[in-house]
Amino acid sequence: MKVLLAITGASGLAYGTMLLESLRALKQDVSVVISSGAKEVAKAEGTKLPKADYGEYDFNCPYASGSNPPDAVVVCPCSLKTLGEIANGVGNSLITRAAEVALKERKKLILVVRDTPYSLITIRNMETVTLAGGVIMPASPGFYGKPKKIDDLLEFMVARVLDQLGIKHSLSKRWKA
Ligand SMILES: Cc1cc2nc3c(=O)[nH]c(=O)nc-3n(C[C@H](O)[C@H](O)[C@H](O)COP(=O)(O)O)c2cc1C
């Protein structure tokens, strides 16, 4: 599966880095783009970001065009700013353009949104993306599996994203009935 993984400036960058490791381990064709917002958050969170395959404004990336869309665009984590741009058709960066392409070409678009609480504007933006065919997956890991460490919580979300992508995996098995 061809996946564009976009990492943006919301808290929880480790969700994105673990998702990347998992997609690579599962032999998926994954490309990475990182926003400058994510680089700022990385300083605060002390997260080591992966190497990007494409620059934030690299519209020469094949996935910026409807002629060559990926099978899925995943924004993980997804800031409210990027959500707002996607919901309003603002394709002014590779991330928002690729999301726009995914929607118009009827490919999978998954936004792992993180913030709390949500304003009405955010809720409406999430509604708009959902009605357009995207999937909003708030970074809300469950606690019923009795997580012991942060990695358990990250794994929970990564497993749910892989489920949405239809990629078989063995993560988070202990949370399954
Ligand atoms: C330490 C830090 C944490 C942040 N956490 C969030 C967050 O959880 N959710 C969010 O929507 N924005 C958060 N922001 C604000 C975004 O990074 C900011 O709106 C940025 O413009 C997003 O741009 P991007 O989507 O292009 O990365 C945070 C910023 C910093 C510096």
Tell me the domains of the chain and their CATH numbers: 2-175 (3.40.50.1950)
Residues with C-beta less than 6 Å from any ligand 1 atom: 8-11, 35, 37-38, 40-41, 44, 79-82, 114-115
Q: Provide the pLDDT confidence category of residue 91 given band limits of 50, 70 and 90.
A: very high
Q: Is the confidence at residue 29, as pLDDT, over 50?
A: yes
Mean pLDDT of 101-121: 98
170: tokens are: 């063995």
Question: Distance, CA 45 to ligand 1 centroid (Å)?
Answer: 12
Mean pLDDT of 18-22: 98
Question: Distance, CA 62 to ligand 1 centroid (Å)?
Answer: 27
Give which of 5, 39, 40 is closest to 21, Cα–Cα. 5
Which residue has its alpha carbon closest to ligand 1 atom 1?
41
Q: What is the pTM of this model?
A: 0.97
Give the position of tokens 């061809």.
Answer: 2
Identify residue 133 by its one-letter amino acid code: G
Looking at every residue in the chain, the average pLDDT score rounds to: 96
Which pLDDT score is estimated for 43?
98
The CA distance from 168 to 153, in Å, is 19
Q: Which atom of ligand 1 is nearest to the CA of 80?
A: 11
Which pLDDT score is estimated for 172?
72
